[in-house]
A and B are shown apart, each in its own frame.
Chain A
Amino acid sequence: AQSVSQHNHHVILSEAASLELGCNYSYGGTVNLFWYVQYPGQHLQLLLKYFSGDPLVKGIKGFEAEFIKSKFSFNLRKPSVQWSDTAEYFCAVTRRGNNAGNMLTFGGGTRLMVKP
């Protein structure tokens, strides 16, 4: 079974600081990778996803993530955060292939607070 680790549980940044959230997964086969965001009081929303091709993927609101296969990592980055980025961020994977079921395995989440 696959698992996902997010190394930072809480991150506090000032506005305009750069952000990098770590995500590592363990699974020997091919995976699809996702970052979801949950703003306070709102439901989970997809930020970005990687299926294949260019390992640097760009998502909404200026976020990007880089898939490094050799490191089993899919770190999330943003060059300059805003107060409105305050939220909880979840990395997730699905196995790719027949009968994979699209079942998401989530990391434990990183709670980001951006100070104005």
Chain B
Amino acid sequence: EAGVAQSPRYKIIEKRQSVAFWCNPISGHATLYWYQQILGQGPKLLIQFQNNGVVDDSQLPKDRFSAERLKGVDSTLKIQPAKLEDSAVYLCASIGGQSSYNEQFFGPGTRLTVL
């Protein structure tokens, strides 16, 4: 089966610009996650979707970050406006069921550099 797809793979913007990332999870996976991985740190969860609904967005900086999964399949994460500290790899992951025994599959990530 195809894995989690993300685009673009790399993005360089200047601070105060806007940027959007796209994720297409594994087919049939109802749960989708966005993580932020700052250089030298482990991934940190930003938001979790179950189908097209938000399950947890407590760690999403909502003043500048937004995410949607309108049709319950692919998802976009947006930053507007970007700050220098947003430079990171943004990872998307999906999981096939609601059981806590299911494995999360990760995409290749989008590396964002904010100048």
Contacts and interface: CB of A to CB of B under 8 A. Distances in A.
B95 interface: yes
State which size class the interface on A falls in: 20 to 34
A90 B103 contact: no
B103 A46 contact: yes
Contacts of A43: 3-4, 91, 106-109
27 contacts: A6-B42, A32-B101, A43-B91, A43-B106, A44-B43, A44-B91, A44-B106, A45-B106, A90-B42, A90-B43, A92-B42, A94-B100, A97-B100, A101-B56, A102-B95, A102-B98, A102-B102, A102-B104, A103-B45, A103-B48, A104-B33, A104-B35, A104-B43, A104-B93, A106-B44, A107-B42, A108-B42
A110 B31 CA distance: 28
B12 interface: no
Contacts of A44: 43, 91, 93, 106
Interface in B71-115: 91, 93, 95, 98, 100-104, 106-109
A94 B109 CA distance: 21
A86 to B, nearest CB: 17
Interface in A28-62: 32, 36, 42-46, 49, 51
Contact of A106 (B40, B43, B55): B43
Closest 7 CB pairs of A and B: A106-B42, A44-B106, A43-B108, A43-B106, A106-B43, A108-B42, A96-B100
A107 B41 CA distance: 8
Contacts of A90: 42-43
